[in-house]
Amino acid sequence: MRVAEVMNDFRTIQHRIQQYRVNPPQGQQQLTGYAVLRQCHAEAQGLLAANFNAGSAQSSGSSPETLKRQLQRILIDASARRFRVQKVYLRAVAAMRWVQARTQILQGQQPHAGHAAALQRVEAALAAELATITDDRIVNELRQKDWSAGHYLAEDPSLATLQSWIRSQH
């Protein structure tokens, strides 16, 4: 049941990321916010396309201990995917705020010297927001959300386990 809850959340987050699409104005594709958004889409697609690495989860035998280890491995994999896609999502949200603020400042005009200070503030705000997207923040937000929804969390992997799993998959 928990694996299904985690994977459903993963799917929902993926859908949200796909809604954040913009067409940068000509010559502005390499600006920070647009680049972050492109990177988020690529990372989200990569996570969606990645196969489950069954590895030792396919060990022989059907003892209760073996089955429990297999289920734990599946839960870790699902939780790591959700953790990673949540990080991508938060970065995409920050980039979209940058796009919206930039659009509001420019109001259809080409950037010029009169926009410089406001655009610099938008760049700084994006950098500051991206810096707040930490592993601790993500895991705490996900756990709080799950706890509020009444999900059983006792067997969820720790942050250290998630980080170790993610490193082992690369």
Whole-number Cα distances in Å, 80 to 50, 86, 142: 12, 10, 11
Q: What is the pLDDT of residue 52?
A: 75
CB 92 within 8 A of CB 133: no
For tokens 């926009």, what's the residue?
115
- At 163, list the tokens: 């980080």
Nearest to 21 by CA among 40, 49, 46, 45: 40
Are 80 and 54 spatial neighbours (Cβ–Cβ below 8 Å)? Answer: no
* CA gap 31, 34 in Å, rounded: 6
pLDDT tens per residue, range 34-57:
999 999 999 999 998 888 765 555
Q: What does the pLDDT read at residue 114?
A: 95
- pLDDT reported for residue 59: 55
| pTM, 2 dp | 0.90
